């Protein structure tokens, strides 16, 4: 079994990778690409999809996540989980929850506004954007 710490370590290894719509490697990736690459690097899944636009459908993202992961309530924050987030109305962004250096949580994600994979504290604004959390298959989360 893979630990949540391993998920976070692999996600952080992509820090600084440029943002690129539907990218799936260190030359460029989007938020879904980060999740796909982390899962592939840890041999958790071979799944991938590129059947989405620049503004992905929240229903489609949720459906794919439910098919391949275990959905948790948005309040079940823990390192190594995948966060489905909204910016306005529909969820359309993914991130990996990590422990924050000074306590609490951070998120690692490919953010178009930053043009790269970044990590920052999960403040109240970012926390309010989380609509659901997902456990990656093959990761041993604490009970």
Tokens 């309040």, residue located: 75
Give pLDDT tens digits for 104-117. 999 999 998 999 99
Which pLDDT value is given to residue 54? 75
Which pTM value belongs to this model? 0.94
Give tens-digit pLDDT for 42-62.
999 888 887 777 766 667 888
Distance CA(87)–CA(125), nearest Å, equals 10
* 4-135 CATH: 3.90.1720.10
CA gap 66, 134 in Å, rounded: 8
pLDDT of 137: 93
Domain ranges of the chain: 4-135
pLDDT band at 5; cut points 50, 70, 90: very high
Cβ atoms of 79 and 99 within 8 Å: the answer is yes
Please report, rounded to a whole number, the percentage of residues in the chain having pLDDT higher than 90.
71
């Amino acid at each position: 079994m893979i630990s949540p710490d391993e998920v976070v370590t692999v996600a952080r290894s992509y820090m600084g990778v440029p943002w690129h719509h539907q990218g799936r490697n260190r030359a460029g990736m989007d938020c879904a690409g980060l999740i796909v690459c982390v899962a592939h690097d840890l041999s958790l899944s071979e799944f991938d999809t590129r059947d989405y636009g620049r503004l992905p459908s929240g229903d489609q993202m949720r459906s794919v996540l439910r098919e391949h992961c275990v959905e948790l309530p948005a309040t079940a924050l823990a390192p190594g989980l995948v966060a489905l987030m909204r910016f306005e109305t529909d969820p359309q962004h993914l991130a990996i929850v990590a422990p924050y250096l000074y306590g609490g949580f951070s998120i690692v994600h490919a953010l178009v506004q930053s043009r790269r994979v970044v990590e920052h504290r999960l403040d109240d604004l970012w926390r309010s954007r989380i609509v659901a959390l997902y456990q990656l298959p093959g990761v041993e989360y604490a009970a």
